Amino acid sequence: MMRNYLNSDTIVALSSAHGKGAISIVRMSGKEVFAIMQKVFFRYAKNSAFDRVQVGLIKDGENIIDEVVCVFFMGPRSFTGEDTVEISAHGNPIIVKNILELLVKNGACLALPGEFSYRAFINGKKDLTQVEAVCSLIAGKTETAVKVALNNISGGFSEKIKAAKQSLTHFLAYLEASMDYPDGDIPFLTQEQKVEEICALVDESQKLIDTYRVSNILQSGVNAVIVGKPNVGKSSLLNAILGKNRAIVTDIAGTTTDSIETLIDCRGVPMTLIDTAGLNIFSEKPIDNFGQQKTREAMSGADILIWVLDASKKIDGFDLQVWDEIKNRKFTGEIFVVLNKIDLPQVIQAEDILKLLPAAKIIKLSAKGTQGIANLLDEMARTLGVLENANEALMINARHWELLTKSQSALNRAKELIISNGGDELASFELRTALANFEEILGINTPHDILDEIFSTFCVGK
């Protein structure tokens, strides 16, 4: 029969990365850990008392499988809350396979994805947002994303939810008590106080919802696409941002015939920067058509467009043609207009651009030097709301966001009811709905099928 998360077997998995390395770590957790290890692990220092860290041999009968270091954790003082051992073996997949097979032969089961985290959650070691943050931490693509995920693991986000939940419970208690004891034996809230309380609840929870944008950007990243006519310095700009020569730069127009993608850390934002073939509909070379097709595809997937112009030359029909392409796409993301080559005498002025695009974000820079590059990165991160807010950011994932949004609708309905004096009973029903959503964020009363869904997206060994 297929195992599921409700089984209480002793589970085992490779917890470090797959493949060869100096060390691989096999983790085992559950009631049978010590019994199984007694059968297969023979430590060198037999005389000493039980040590948490032991060196010795893993053997299958007389057959030596590896020399390992074992770290034992006695439940509940372990990640999962159960008895656990972490076996550091030599990092060869053959050895790892042999160890896993031996442990399974002696009674352990191969763990499901995320099953260690599932047990940590079920045993109350971590709430749901904290184990989810482990995933975000491992997936984090920039220093900032990693830092924010770490903050969630230690409870940054769940503290906020718990606080909101507490205020809500408190308010509910007053509201319901005044319904149960209408004679005023207990302190009750005036209409004014009720309105004040509910408005504060709505505002607090809105603040959490608002942080989703930044959080999502930090986790998923954005696409920034560099466009412009040939020879304005698009490839030079990509190279300048990267600090190395990734794209070919020449003074021959049309050198870049394909889109070049690289992942950069733009002030904490994981940004896929894409250098494209210059747009030029007059070219008749087939390779150019192909390149321009890819440019248009890249533009469709862009969150940010960086339109590069050569500021040392007049805006011409080719530039305007690029502008038409941007306009025709009804692009809704951010557009940065880069006036490049400011080391040369400038012909294009900011005003010329503002005539076309009154709200343009104009950055003057020299892609050949480094002048203005840092400013472009700052401004992109600022536009995304990350430059100033990264330090207070929370790792809110799509699941949290959905529940926060549901809870916010219920809170808003309660607010309407309270303001219009529509009845405390109905308001209290809405508040209970909001409360249930907050609890589901933390994993309280979360249905099993939803938990299965969440944990099955984790990787095995986590």
Ligand X SMILES: Nc1nc2c(ncn2[C@@H]2O[C@H](COP(=O)(O)OP(=O)(O)O)[C@@H](O)[C@H]2O)c(=O)[nH]1
| Residues in contact with ligand X by the rule CB under 6 A | 228, 230-236, 249-251, 255-256, 278, 340-341, 343-344, 366-368
d(CA 160, CA 141): 25
Which pair of structure tokens corresponds to residue 392? Answer: 């207070």
CB of 347: closest distance to Mg ion in angstroms?
A: 21
Distance CA 132, CA 161 (A): 15
Token pair, residue 4, equals 């599921």
Which residue's CB is nearer to ligand X, number 103 or number 322?
Answer: 322
User: Shortest distance, CB of residue 359 to ligand X, whole angstroms?
Assistant: 24
What is the length of the chain? 462
Residues from 139 through 198 that contact Mg ion (CB under 5 A) = none
Minimum distance between the CB of residue 225 and ligand X, rounded to whole angstroms?
Answer: 13
Residue 229 beta carbon to ligand X: minimum distance, rounded to whole angstroms:
8
Q: Which is nearer to ligand X, 230 or 385 (CB)?
A: 230
Q: Which residues pair with 332 in a beta bridge?
A: none
Of 44-52, 196-204, 231-239, 335-343, which segment contacts Mg ion by CB under 5 A?
231-239
Distance of CA 146 to the CA centre of its chain: 9
* Terminal CA-CA length for the chain: 23
Choices 76-84, 185-193, 227-235, 396-404; region in contact with Mg ion by CB under 5 A: 227-235
Binding Mg ion (rule: CB under 5 A), the pick from 10, 117, 152, 235 is: 235
Only one of the segments 93-101, 127-135, 252-260, 349-357 lies at the binding site for Mg ion (rule: CB under 5 A); that segment is 252-260
Closest CA to 146 of 156, 154, 138, 157: 138
Distance CA 399, CA 401 (A): 5
211 sits near Mg ion (criterion: CB under 5 A): no
- Closer residue to Mg ion in complex, CB, 17/281: 281
- Closest to 347 (Cα-Cα) out of 383, 301, 313, 300: 313
State the nearest-atom distance from the C-beta of 271 to ligand X, in Å.
Answer: 19
Q: If contact means CB under 5 to 8 A according to the sort of partner, which of Mg ion, ligand X, none does residue 367 touch?
A: ligand X
Nearer to ligand X, 160 or 341 (CB): 341
CB of 374 to Mg ion, least distance (A): 22
What is d(CA 458, CA 462) in angstroms, rounded to the nearest whole number? Answer: 7
Give yes or no for a contact between 68 and 52, defined as CB atoms under 8 angstroms apart: no
Decide which of Mg ion, ligand X, none touches 344; Cβ closer than 5 to 8 Å per partner kind: ligand X
Q: Which among ligand X, Mg ion, none contacts residue 241 (Cβ within 5 to 8 A by kind)?
A: none
Q: How far is the CB of 275 from ligand X (least distance, A)?
A: 7
Q: Name which of Mg ion, ligand X, none residue 230 binds, using a CB cut-off of 5 to 8 Å depending on partner kind.
A: ligand X
368 binds, among ligand X, Mg ion, none (CB under 5 to 8 A by kind): ligand X
Instruction: Return the number of the residue (368 or 432) whose C-beta is nearest ligand X.
Output: 368
Q: How far is the CB of 294 from Mg ion (least distance, A)?
A: 13
Closer of 178 and 236 to ligand X (Cβ)? 236
The residue from 256, 389, 428, 437 that contacts Mg ion (CB under 5 A) is 256
Spatial distance between the Cα atoms of 400 and 450, rounded to a whole number of angstroms:
13
Task: Pick the closer one to ligand X by CB: 218 or 311.
Answer: 311
Tell me whether residue 160 or residue 234 sits nearer to ligand X (CB atom).
234
In the complex, least distance from residue 228 CB atom to Mg ion, rounded to whole angstroms: 9
CA–CA separation, 358 vs 352, rounded Å? 10
Q: Residue 341 touches which of ligand X, Mg ion, none (CB < 5 to 8 A by kind)?
A: ligand X
> Closest distance between ligand X and the C-beta of residue 78, in Å?
55
Nearest by Cα to 191 from 439, 421, 440, 422: 421
In the bound state with Mg ion, the residue whose beta carbon lies nearer, of 234 and 400, is 234
Footprint of Mg ion (CB under 5 A): 234-235, 256
